[in-house]
Amino acid sequence: MARIGSLPAATLLIRAQRSPQIIGEPPGRIPPLDELVNSLEFEPVAQRKLDDAAFNAISGGNRSGFDHIVFRPRLMVNTQNLDLTTELFGDAMFTPILIGPASHQNRFHPEGELAMARGASAAQAAMVVADRSDHPVERIAAEAGGPLWYQAYPESDGHSLLSRIHKAVEAGCKAVCITVGTPYGQIGSNGYPRLSTLPPMGNPAFDWNYIDRIRRSVTAPLLLKGVMSAEEAKTAVKNGIQGIVVSNHGGGFVHGLAEPITVLPEIVDAVGGRAPVLVDGGFRRGSDVLKALIFGAKAVLISRPALWGLAAYGAEGVRTVVELLQTELARDLAMVGAANPQDLSRDFVKISRR
Amino acid sequence: MKQPERHRHGYVDRRESIRLLTGFLAGSPLLLAQQDPFRDHSRIPSIDELIDVFDFEALAYEKLPRSAYNYTAYGAAGEFTLRRNREVFKWIELIPKGVVNVSSIDTTTEILGTRMNFPIMVAPTAGHTALHPSGEAGTHEGCTAAAETPMIVSHAASMPIEEIAASASGPIWVQLYPSPDIETNRKPLEKAQAAGARAVVVTVDQEAAFYERALHDRNLAGRRSRRIRRPRRDLNRYRIPVKRLWYEWKLFDQLRSFINMPMLAKGVLIAEDAKRCIEHGLDGIVVSNHGGRALDYSPSSLEVLPEIVDVVAGRVPVLIDSGFRRGSDILKALAFGASAVCLGRVPRWGLGAFGPPGAQRILEIVQAELVMAMAHSGRPTLASIDRSLVRADLP
């Protein structure tokens, strides 16, 4: 009897020896893609895949502005014909979510922009190709099934810029975003900050004449990316600009720039429907995108979440991030009580001081 | 030669007996318990040791399977609204009166023909058997024992409504998730009426909500999330379920012909909708964001209550839920003009922690807290509670 009794005793003994169960993620684990349930969860996975320098370039982002906007949801609105289709410059887009431009995406994935383009087209999203891509725009266009746009920095050498824009338009880019408000690179991107060797980026000697020159020689619609004030948006439209992208460039250049979502309403008002207004900066949730649409934005550019997806899982990661955001947006649109973005108005939100 | 012989007769030598005893002790759970530095925290206290509803939550967490606790705890998406539902009470302060005769406190009220001893009801929540084997019948038992608290039986209850109604004598209402084929709604409503339900609450929010944290639970259980989600046929091209996207105002007119009890709409968060509810002949309104489980970034229900009460202007009773835990929380809603407050998570914690007696005790605690709050703020009757009781700094 005693011998039989020692068997379960020994089992417990063995159990007690086991290390306690680890709660949460073991450090460094790359979970299967299906385990991630929202775009924010891709950031820590990207961190595990990247070196510090690459990850620091795409970590974080400020989205506290969204916490001061609450919905006023309407009941009993039939949304069975829910439709997110958005028309921009003659292209019908599956949803108003585009993938924003980011330079040198080989930093995040060996296939860089090519994988990004594959993921974007798998999710039926348009992608904005960055001027400083690690792959030629023709090759990116060959990978992409969906529409492409092009983003360019206004360099001092207007000629080479124009030839690159022409090449991009030839390759199939449907619109061109000129980034404004980044005359120099990010502090620290060139070693410690020195006044004598500011890292070059855009064109410090930049004005409306310069933009005019570009506009006259580019056939594709021209957008200004980086507009943050109603006044400048108005001037831009007056100068023939066909679209505005409200952006603070991810907040990476200067501390203390306003959040794009907070200046969006007055810019939409100033533009008054003469040109589509897009926005980027801090969009991580379908509800964030919905708020921009409610304020009158035509579409939203997402950058960091797509890059997290790219770094963590390549094209499949990009696709999943974008699809998760599309699904969240559709869900929130139905619950706020609108069947499509055109039915939205500012009545659907309340600004909250808290 | 001798030793094996003694063994056969049941004798064990000294060395052998020490070996067996050591093995037994080492394997004993008692010894294992000594190694647990947190053993004091895992002691299950008795029901009399719990003094507010939050004490029950910790206990429900200890006693329930993780999935049952989590289902109760979760909100939708990033849970902004779930958190805001509790934050809102910090933005509203009570301004008491001191020189008032509060020797007797009267909390009785009548809402749509249902007499209540307190302006407190149990909100409809799904699947109580996951919390306790007695399920909804147990909750109803607890409700009735706690001064006949009315219970709103969920459409997603885990047992038939007749069984729930038969388990105790207190009043019940019933909740309905309407079905697009209007005739399909007839049967559950008629069954509920036959079982003695005195009103129906039609839930019309949460058209496409989703607890993404529930996917984490599946992941923890070793199953993969979106593989379950993807092949479903009732999803539209944006991968959201379509089964509740058809809601329209005419629904209430259509349901009316099936019932001869009062009908309320649950999920109202804006004054315009409250107005339309009255236009469509609804007998009451439940202001609710579904306990933070419908649209994330909805406002807390309490912060929109004043505008809804104003537009309703006393024509129908306005009930409220989402975030209420304490007697003082309830008092704040009453001050803004709510007729009653529904509690969802609170009775779930009670039932999960101690079964029917837990549901009873947790409701009694809230009731006692409400009486204390009324007494200490110098408002001895429900009629004496008005907006002068609160100083609100709503965003």
Of the candidates B174, B163, B167, B164, which has an alpha carbon nearest to the alpha carbon of residue B197? B174
Q: In whole angstroms, how large is the CA radius of gyration of chain B? A: 26
Using the Cβ of A122 and the Cβ atoms of chain B, whether some distance falls under 8 Å is answered with: no
Indicate yes or no: CB of B295 within 8 angstroms of CB of A12. Answer: no
Contact between residue A187 and residue A214 where contact means Cβ atoms under 8 Å apart: no
Backbone angles phi, psi at A204, to 5 degrees: -60, -30
Say whether both B188 and B78 belong to one domain.
yes
Asked if the Cβ–Cβ distance from A38 to B272 is below 8 Å, we say no
Q: Does B392 touch chain A (CB under 8 A)?
A: no
Residue B83's CATH number? 3.20.20.70
Question: What pLDDT was estimated at residue A198?
Answer: 73
Other CB atoms within 10 A of residue B154 CB = 25
Q: Is A189 on the interface with B (CB under 8 A)?
A: no
Using CA atoms, how far apart are residues B107 and A70, in angstroms rounded to an integer? 34
Cβ–Cβ contact B3 with A under 8 A: no
- Using an 8 Å CB-CB cutoff, list chain A residues near B208: 330-331, 334-335
Does residue B10 belong to the interface with chain A, where contact is any CB pair within 8 Å?
A: no
What pairing do the DSSP bridges indicate for beta strands B390-392 and B92-94?
antiparallel
CATH code of the domain in which A160 resides: 3.20.20.70
Query: Would A195 be classed as within a structural domain?
Result: no
Domain of residue A315, residue span: 34-182+204-351
Distance CA B121, CA B57 (A): 19
Are residues B155 and B263 located together in one domain of the fold?
yes
In chain A, which residues have their Cβ closer than 8 Å to the Cβ of B265? Answer: 75
Q: Would the pLDDT of B200 be above 70?
A: yes
Chain position carrying tokens 């009103």: B199
Sign of the four-CA dihedral A24, A30, A34, A39: positive
Summarize pLDDT for B99-150 with one digit per residue, the tens. 999 999 999 999 999 999 999 999 999 999 999 999 999 999 999 999 999 9
Instruction: Tell which B residues from 220 to 249 touch A, by Cβ distance under 8 Å.
Output: 224-227, 236, 238-240, 242, 245-249
Looking at the fold, whether B26 and B105 belong to one and the same domain comes out as no
Please provide the average confidence, as pLDDT, over all residues in chain A: 90
Under 8 Å between Cβ of A33 and A317 = yes
Same domain, B156 and B302: yes
* Domain that includes residue B238, residue range: 210-243
Among the ranges given (A235-249, B35-49, B146-160, B171-185), the one the predictor scored with the smallest mean pLDDT: B35-49
Which of residues 204 through 243 in chain A touch B, CB cutoff 8 A?
Answer: none
Checking if the pLDDT of B268 tops 90, the result is yes
Same domain, B254 and B344: yes
- Identify which of B384, B326, B296 has the alpha carbon closest to the alpha carbon of residue B92: B326
Nearest to A74 among B29, B227, B270 (CB): B270
Q: How far is A124 from chain B (nearest CA, A)?
A: 11
Tell me which of B39 and A232 has the higher pLDDT. A232
Two structure tokens written together for A148: 């492409």
The answer to whether position A189 is within a domain reads: no
Could you give the number of structural domains in chain A? 1
Total count of domains within chain B: 3
Residues B225 and B265 in one domain: no
Strand partners, B120: B341
Let me know whether B262 and B119 are in one domain.
Answer: yes
Asked if A82 reaches chain B (Cβ–Cβ under 8 Å), the answer is yes
Determine the average pLDDT of the residues in B314-321: 98
Both tokens assigned to A205: 């000697």
Nearest C-alpha neighbor of A153 from the set A105, A206, A230: A206
Question: Would you say residue A24 has pLDDT above 80?
Answer: no
Give the pLDDT score at A6: 58
Determine phi and psi for A139, rounding to 5 degrees: -70, -40
| CB nearest B247 (choices: A9, A73, A76) | A76
A331 in any annotated domain: yes
Select from B31, B242, B296, B305 the residue whose CB has the most chain A CBs within 10 Å, as the one to mutate to test that interface: B296
- Asked if residue B114 and residue B88 are part of one domain, the reply reads yes
Nearest CA-CA distance, residue B395 and chain A, Å: 5
CB–CB contact B24 A329 (8 Å) = no
Instruction: Tell me which residues of chain B, numbers 48 to 107, contact chain A at a CB-CB cutoff of 8 Å.
Output: 77-78, 80, 84, 87, 91
- Determine the length of chain A: 354
Average pLDDT, chain B: 92
Would you call B224 and A287 a contact, using CB atoms and an 8 Å cutoff?
A: no
Percent of chain A residues topping a pLDDT of 70 = 92
Q: B389 to chain A nearest CA, in Å?
A: 23
Looking at CA atoms only, how far is residue B36 from chain A in angstroms? Answer: 11
Could you tell me which chain B residue has the CA closest to the CA of A5? B24
The per-residue pLDDT for range A86-105, each reduced to its tens digit, is 999 999 999 999 999 999 99
A6, A34, A75: residue with CB nearest B226: A34
Residue A151's DSSP bridge partners are A177
Identity of the residue in B29, B239, B295 whose CB atom sits nearest the CB atom of A335? B295
User: Is the Cβ–Cβ distance between B354 and B114 less than 8 Å?
Assistant: no
Q: What is the mean pLDDT of residues A14-25?
A: 48
Q: Which residues of B are catalytic?
A: 290
pLDDT digits (tens, 9 = 90+) for B321-341: 999 999 999 999 999 999 999
CA distances from A218 to A9, A87, A326 (A): 82, 21, 32
pLDDT band at A18; cut points 50, 70, 90 = very low
Q: Which of A104, A109, A249, A255 is catalytic?
A: A249
- Backbone phi, psi, residue A175, to 5°: -150, 160
- The two three-digit tokens of residue A258, written as one number: 């306003």
Collapsed DSSP state (helix, strand, coil) of residue A316: helix
Which residues neighbour A40 within 8 Å (Cβ) at sequence distance 6 or greater? A284, A285, A305
CA angle B10, B13, B17 (to 5 degrees): 90
The pLDDT score that the predictor gives to residue A22 is: 39
Q: Are strands B318-320 and B340-343 parallel, antiparallel or unpaired?
A: parallel
d(CA A261, CA B204): 30
Do the Cβ atoms of B255 and B282 come closer than 8 Å?
A: no
**Contacts B226 to A, Cβ<8 Å:** 34
Model confidence at B1: pLDDT above 50: no
Residues B196 and B277 in one domain: yes
Angular region, A224: left φ>0, alpha ψ -120 to 50, beta rest: beta
Number of cross-chain residue pairs from A and B with Cβ atoms under 8 Å apart: 149
Which of A6, A14, A76 has the highest number of chain B CBs within 10 A, making it the mutation to test binding with B?
Answer: A76
* DSSP states along B177-201: ---SSGGGGHHHHHHHHHTT---EE
Are A73 and B270 an interchain contact pair (Cβ–Cβ within 8 Å)?
yes
Q: Residue A169: what residue type?
A: V
Residue A323 touches chain B, beta carbons under 8 Å: yes
Which residues in chain A (101-120) have CB-CB distances under 8 A to chain B?
A: none
How many CA atoms within 13 Å lie on the side-chain side of B116?
A: 25
Please state which of the ranges A25-39, A70-84, A232-246, B72-86 shows the lowest mean pLDDT.
Answer: A25-39
Angle between helices B53-63 and B345-354 (to 10 degrees): 50
Distance set, CA B35 to CA A14, A19, B26, B30, B266 (Å): 14, 12, 12, 9, 51
pLDDT at site B12: 77
Confidence of residue B348 (pLDDT cuts 50, 70, 90): very high
Is the backbone of residue A329 left (phi > 0), alpha (psi -120 to 50) or beta? alpha
Between CA A68 and CA A113 the distance in angstroms is 35
Confidence of residue A28 (pLDDT cuts 50, 70, 90): confident
Residues B32 and B66 in one domain: no
A279-332 pLDDT per residue, tens? 999 999 999 999 999 999 999 999 999 999 999 999 999 999 999 999 999 999
Give me the residues of A, 24-43, that contact B with CB < 8 A.
31-32, 34-35, 37-38
Rg (CA), chain A: 23
Give the span between the Cα atoms of B278 and B314, in whole angstroms.
11
Q: Do A335 and B26 make contact, defined as CB atoms within 8 angstroms?
A: no
Report if residue A9 sits inside a domain.
Answer: no
Token duo for residue B372: 């204390």
> Tokens standing for B209?
């909500």
User: By mean pLDDT, which of A77-86, A230-239, B61-70 is the weakest?
Assistant: B61-70
What is the ipTM, given to two decimal places?
0.90
Based on the domain organization, do B38 and B134 belong to the same domain? no
H-run or E-run covering B309: helix B301-312
Sheet strands (E) in A123-250:
127-129, 148-152, 173-179, 222-227, 243-246
Of A42, A223, A185, A198, the closest CA to residue A103 belongs to: A185
